[in-house]
Structure formats: structure tokens, C-alpha cells
Chains A and B, each alone.
Chain A
Amino acid sequence: MPIDKEKEIERIKEVESINLAREEIRDEVIETKKAVEKDNELLANRVHQKFKDNNIKSFDIVGAIGAGKTALLEKIIEKISSQYRTLVICGDITTRVDADRIEKHKAETVQINTGRECALNAYHIHQIIKNKDLNNYDLVFIENVGNLICPSDFILGTDKRLIVVSTTEGEWVVEKHPMLFKMSDIAVINKIDLKERLGTDVDKMISDAKKINLKIEVITTSAKTGENIEKLMNLMGL
């Protein structure tokens, strides 16, 4: 491929919109986008197979910035780290803050800093597990980069995907972000301890989630008070 075409495709990938492609190369841009998605799916399947071959239960946790993904993981891992050998992969633009928080509860962690990318992809996960002896783990959690948009483009090859939102984002957050709710198995509405104070209509959030995805399990939790953490673990089969 000529270098200017390559550069153009890179640019389009960056802004993530084929609408901006010049007419002459529009087809090629579309093909590239399709190929990227297909490659990710193939790799995700390979990742999932490896987890299954090693009897590992795996979860991918997506959700809004600051909704409490790490806080929930801390609560869960605190309860189970003596029972399951756990690997936690944390995705963030930068810093090792989340991995350090998790490590306090005696789970092994790997931090990925995505730099300018707003989601983890299956290739990242594949690179990590390629360098690990998966015999050493019973459980893998992957905390995606916090946002409700980009992770919908990339499945990671886990058994289940959890989506976490919270009462602080307002009761419209679910209906505004249907894509990730469609592709998740469990929806967690966290910070339920703040519901009264904020006056958030949590019932609306629950019914929105169920409208978007008939099969989704919805649970309200508080990582602060510990409310419903055991129930969430039951839903996850832990």
C-alpha cells in the first residue's frame, strides 16, 4: 500500500469515522475497519479457548469513569483471594493506580497503559497471557479503560462481561449508552448508598437496562458499604 494511503487510513482509524474518508479510498477504509474487527474477534476466541483449556473463569469489567470498577474488584478480591489464584489486568490511559489498589488484596496484577487508546483489545490480552503460565490461575479479571463507548468495539474473550455504572452519573446514563449494555451479561448499578442523597431514579436505570437487553442481569451495589457484593459474586458464579 502506498505510504500516503497508509497514512490516510491511519488518520481515519484515529478519528474512527469512515465518513471522513476521501471518496477514492472509501472502500479500502471500510475494508480495513472490517479487517480490524475480524482480527480482534479471532484473537478474542483464541484467548477464551486458552482460559477454558486451563479451567479459568474470566470476566471483563467495563463502565463509566469512576463508577467503581476497581472498588468493586477490591471488595470481591478481598473475599476470594485466599481461595482462587487470581490475575487482574487493569487498563488505564496512564498510571499504575488501579493495579496498586488491587495488589493490596493479594492478587497478581498487570497494568496496561493504553496511552491514546480508549479501550483494551484482544491483542493486549493475548500478549499478556502468552507470557504467563495459565496453569497458575483460577480466575482472571480484566478492568477496561473507564468509558462507556470504545470498549464496545472490542470483545476480549472472557466468559462474561460486566458493565458498571453508578448513581452519580444520572438516571439517563443507561439509555444513553445502549451498545455496551447490549453486549454485557451483568449490569451493576453502584454507589447505591448515595441514591437518596442524589435523588437518582434507580428503577428507571434498571428498567432501561432490561429494555436494552432482555437477558441482562441487573444488580445494585455499594462498594462502600458492601451492600449486595455477595449477591453480585453469586451472579458471577464465584
Chain B
Amino acid sequence: MKEELIKIEELIGNFDNIEKSDIKDLMQRLFSKLGNRLEKYVGDYPTFIEPVYLEDNVKIGDDVLLGPNVYIGANSEIQDYVEMSNTIIFENVIIGENFKLENCVVAKGSSFKFNNLNMKNSVLIGETKSKDELQSKKF
């Protein structure tokens, strides 16, 4: 699993070439190996559809639905009403209220401090308080 995560992180570092990369295959490969790790989070009782893998100190808000196929890196925060499937969140990320992410990757350290976003098949990066400043790239 670590191996795919490292490769995916490298790929999204080269933001402009993401469409042409083999990110989809890599994500599939990661998800096929993904196990459960559900014990180490802080917060409310979300709904998990396995597999969901949470690194240490992930914060989760109310009424959140995670899975199937979700990886969340250490110290990331998922706010209320968020829903995600087939998605990778790297470490130290903030995901705002009522985000709906399907087949997405969020880069390390990103922080989206606004509500309501619906995204599919995209890489997301940025530190923003509004939807307009969000950097995203479809794949």
C-alpha cells in the first residue's frame, strides 16, 4: 500500500501531466490492497463501508459516510456531512462541510475551508476559503 501511495504522491506533484499519467491504475491497485483501520480516529461515529483506512489522529465530524475504498492520511480533518468513496486524502488536509468526493485525490496539506463541493475523478490541491480558488485537475 505504501508503495502506491508514494507513487501517487509523486504523480500529483507533477500536476499538469496528471491526465496522461497512470493514476487511475495506481488508485485501483491501492484500493485492491486496502485493508481496514478504523480505530484511531477522533470524533463522531461515522458510517464506514469497508475498506476504509484511517491513519492516526484523523478527525471526523457528524453524519459522515466514508467508503468503500477510502484512505485518509494522518492529522486530516473531515467536517460534517462529508461523503467520500474511492478517494485518497493525504496527511494534514482539511475537508469542509458537505463535500462529496468520488474517485478523488487530495494533496498533502490542502485545506478547503468552505462548504458544499461535489467532485469526481479529480486531483485537488490548495489552501483556500472559497470554491473559486480551488485548484483541481480531472483525470
Contacts and interface: CB of A to CB of B under 8 A. Distances in A.
Interface of A: 10, 93-94, 96, 110-117, 124, 127-128, 131
Contacts, number: 39
A113 B51 CA distance: 11
Given A96-B36, A110-B68, A131-B68, A116 B49 contact: no
B68 A127 contact: yes
14 contacts: A111-B36, A112-B47, A112-B48, A112-B49, A112-B50, A113-B50, A115-B45, A115-B48, A116-B45, A117-B47, A124-B49, A127-B49, A127-B67, A127-B68
Contact of A131 (B48, B63, B85): B85
B22 interface: no
Interface string B41-62: 0001111111000000000000
Interface residues of B, number: 15
Given A113-B47, A115-B47, A131-B85, 19 more contacts: A10-B63, A93-B45, A94-B45, A110-B49, A110-B68, A111-B50, A112-B47, A112-B48, A112-B49, A113-B38, A113-B50, A114-B47, A115-B44, A115-B46, A115-B48, A116-B45, A124-B49, A127-B68, A128-B68
B86 interface: yes
B110 interface: no
B111 interface: no
B75 interface: no
B69 interface: yes
Describe B's contact surface by its main secondary structure. loop
B85 A127 contact: yes
A1 to B, nearest CB: 11
B51 to A, nearest CB: 9
Contacts of B69: 131
Contacts of B46: 115
A131 B85 CA distance: 10
* Residue of B38, B48, B50, B63 with most chain A CB atoms under a 10 A cut-off: B50
A223 B68 CA distance: 31
A97 to B, nearest CB: 13
B121 to A, nearest CB: 14
A121 to B, nearest CB: 10
A112 B66 CA distance: 10
A128 B85 CA distance: 10
A124 B68 CA distance: 9
A101 to B, nearest CB: 15
Contacts of B86: 131
A106 B67 CA distance: 23
